Amino acid sequence: MEAHSSRSNRYAQVETTLALFLVLLKAQVVHATWGKVQGYDWGPWMEMFHATYWFEPIPPVRIWGASYHPPLSYLIGRLICLIYPHEIEVSQINSTLAVVVAFFCVRQVLKRIGWLWTLPGLWLLYGGISVPVIVSVGVETTYDSWVLAWYMMALAASVGLFWNATSPTWWKNNRTARKVTWLGLVFAAGLLNKYTGLLAFALPFIVILVRRGFLAVVRESTAPITAIAISVLVVFPLYYERNYKTEGRWMPAAMDWQRRDDLRVAIEKRDAAPVAFVVNMLKYPLKTPKDPQAPVLDSFTHITWLHTWTKDWVLAAEPEPALTVSRKYSQWFAATLLAGTVWFVARFRRIDKEWRDVGWVLLLVTAIYCGLALSFGWKYPLWDWRVFKTKYMTPAVFFIPYATAIVFADKSVIAKLHGRLRFVEDLAFYALILFVALNHLLPVY
């Protein structure tokens, strides 16, 4: 505990400065890309934005390519537009605001559990929010930036409520009842932004499961279920009137009608050899395209890993030296992710329980997102539409920096760092600062 306290005191002196530095770097990325459309979905997003206003009817589900999505990201953009009425720039401000919100939510989680002012905590927070795909999402014209924000807001609320056990009569405590209501509203906001907001429903149960086991999930389920019920009540009118009544489905997808024939042919090929189809999705191909920006579209492992570090060629050519840095990241973090995950699983008893539990939460979040992505790829195997984009699963990215710095949470390593190996910790800290600065100033994507 003494070593943990000394490290906390050490980093507490610089963390506030780092937070300000990070926000300024996000502003720099916006400035560098100001007025330049970014991302896969900027055209469909703009079509919907032009037709979406507060207190007016929402465009029908099938009218445009992205009109099947819920409207919240467009409506937030409308609020910004009241102050600065320039649409492309508004979309960039919108996305940057979302990523900054996500940053402070993760920061709140780490502060709540007492690991903010530690090297592993700083790597998770600042390294995670600086992974190239998240830096890119922060200036895209997209709804996916707010997917990350609402999810991390739900994570912060879930940790605040359920990190320690809740009372069986929680509703009698006004403060707890307000927190449950807030969690429900955050769930609703996520569902009003994109259908993947549904994944946040798992967060309270994940936190309870990791902290206190399966029986605790049963005992403490009333508060999470209440929050879910609140969110369902909020979103039900929109989902029922706009989706179910017109499409017969609560969450329709554009591929069902935009590429009906192509989808039918792709499904027939899938069903002809289902085992080979799944193996192909999961394997990392031995032969990859010569173009380092070209993903193997039917390989989940290849496309998601490449998109984490490198700009897809269909977006733009990634100039040097950014491309070289991206390729080095891909190689280096593949090794550190594998080694860190093995270290975490093999030596989890040597890791402080609070930090170990954070790791299990992040690992389960990653597993859920990967499982959903694979399920989506199974259902809609239209590879030319890049159904495995990493920007669809940005919360899963945070396990990478967690695994990168896990060695510095090992009790035996901590004991050594407190003495003669302090310079190793210093090197890791300065490597983090370089990683954050480089990815925003170059930027590497």
Domain coverage including residue 188: 2-441
Give percent of the chain with pLDDT exceeding 70. Answer: 97
Tens digits of residue pLDDT in 166-204: 888 999 999 999 999 999 999 999 999 999 999 999 999
Instruction: Report whether 6 contacts 119 (CB < 8 A).
Output: no
- Amino acid at site 431: A
What is the maximum span of the chain, computed from C-alpha positions, in angstroms?
Answer: 68
Backbone angles phi, psi at 287, to 5 degrees: -110, 125
Per residue in 255-275, pLDDT tens? 899 899 999 999 999 999 999
- HSE-up of residue 231 (Cα within 13 Å, Cβ side): 27
Euclidean distance between CA atoms 401 and 122, whole angstroms: 9
392 closest CA partner among 408, 370, 409:
370
Stated pTM of the model: 0.95
Cα within 13 Å of Cα(331), Cβ side: 6
Contact (Cβ atoms closer than 8 angstroms) between residue 141 and residue 39 = yes
In the chain, the number of structural domains is 1
Q: Band the pLDDT of 7: cuts 50, 70, 90.
A: low
Residue with the two structure tokens 């395209």: 289
Secondary structure (3-state) at 142: coil
pLDDT tens, residue by residue, 103-159: 999 999 999 999 999 999 999 999 999 999 999 999 999 999 999 999 999 999 999
Burial class (CB in 10 A: 0-12, 13-18, 19+), 154: buried
